[in-house]
Structure 1
Amino acid sequence: MADEKKEPWLNFLALTTVILAVCATLATFKGGGYSTRSVMSQAMASNQWAFFQAKSTKSNLYEISREQLELQAEGASGERAEALRRKAADWARKVATYDQEKAAIQAEAKRLENVKEEAQKHSAAFGIAVIFLQIAILLSSIAALLKQKQVWWLGLVVGAAGILYFVNGFLLFL
């Protein structure tokens, strides 16, 4: 059996395939991390919106009670009317406090929703990168098996698109 002469481009094919595989692995890892961040941020935002709703319900109950106390104070006289007005004023302060708390909770919920949306953008870019990189690896493998340089070139073009999306996963320029 005579030793077949190895074509020099096959060394470059092997090297580029390794580079593509490393990028695909990193894109999968980063995409998964951003996906997890997206899910966690959505869960935390949902918790904040539930907290906001609870504060809204309590605020509404105090507001209704305050209005009832004010109506009762109109029909009362003397010390009883004054006591009802003081209690209504206390409850008005509680409503104001709840409104301030709701504003802070709402701001945090919106911030978490923005984190989720940003993480989804990164995750999507990494997901697209993985698709292109896997196709490029497949084409490189076929090129090596068939010793077809044109298939390797096609794999390099697809791999370049994958690397472009991989970099986009970090920078979001597309």
Structure 2
Amino acid sequence: MADDKKEPWLNFLALSTVILAVCATLATFRGGGHSTRSVMRQTQASDQWAFYQAKSIKGNLCEITRDQLELEAKGATGARAADLKAKADDYAKKVARYDQEKAEIQAKAQSLEREREDALKHGAAFGVAVIYLQIAILLCSIAALLKKQPVWWLGMAVGAVGIVNFVNGFLLFF
């Protein structure tokens, strides 16, 4: 056993396998974080859209009430007509307020949906990276067991694709 000389490329194989494993671990961690973020943003956006719908219902009820008051005011005279018109004006202000609130809620919901989409893109890139990095680790392990350098080179090629996707998870360059 002491006479067996270790081939120098095996040291590089071991080091490269460790680097691939670290990148795979980090990609898994980052991908999981983005996945959680996308679920949270989806939930928040859904809450905003439910709030938007509630404001729409309230606004529609105010519009109906306003319209009814305006119709009653047309048939009324004197102080009663003025009172009905004043109430109709109050409801018109509420309708305008609900429309403004709906616009703000819509903007927030759409912003949350954009954040969700961004998180999904990052998470997908990290997911692809994990797949390639795991395959590369597997190939490097097989190369170590069989002591076949061409299998290690294949593992390095697959690992390079994994590392490119890992970097893409941060930068989204494709």
Question: Aligned letter for 2:134?
Answer: Q
Q: Normalized against structure 2, the TM-score is what?
A: 0.99
Question: Aligned letter for 1:30?
Answer: R
Q: Show structure 1 runs of 4+ deviating over 2 A.
A: none
Question: Aligned letter for 1:21?
Answer: A
Correspondence for 2:102: 102
Correspondence for 1:126: 126
Q: What is the rounded CA distance, in whole Å, between the counterparts of 2:5 and 2:44 in structure 1?
A: 61
Q: What is the rounded CA distance, in whole Å, between the counterparts of 2:154 and 2:14 in structure 1?
A: 15
- Deviation, structure 1 residue 166: 0.1
Q: Normalized against structure 1, the TM-score is what?
A: 0.99
Q: What is the rounded CA distance, in whole Å, between the counterparts of 2:81 and 2:3 in structure 1?
A: 108
> Per-residue displacement from partner, 1:55-113 (whole Å, max 9, x unpaired)?
00000000000000000001111100100000000000000000000000000000000
Deviates more, 1:162-171 or 1:2-11: 2-11
Gapped regions of structure 2 (runs ≥ 5): none
> Per-residue displacement from partner, 1:88-143 (whole Å, max 9, x unpaired)?
00000000000000000000000000000000000000000000000000000000
Q: What is the rounded CA distance, in whole Å, between the counterparts of 2:102 and 2:58 in structure 1?
A: 11
Correspondence for 1:143: 143
Question: Aligned letter for 2:70?
Answer: E
- Deviation, structure 1 residue 2: 5.0
Q: Please provide the CA RMSD for this pair.
A: 0.7
Q: What is the rounded CA distance, in whole Å, between the counterparts of 2:38 and 2:21 in structure 1?
A: 25
Question: Aligned letter for 2:27?
Answer: A
> Residue 32 of structure 2 aligns to a residue in which SS?
helix
Q: Superposition pairs for residues 62-73 of structure 1, below 5 Å?
A: 62-73=62-73
> Per-residue displacement from partner, 1:23-64 (whole Å, max 9, x unpaired)?
000000000000000000000000000000000000000000
> Residue 6 of structure 2 aligns to a residue in which SS?
coil
Gapped regions of structure 1 (runs ≥ 5): none
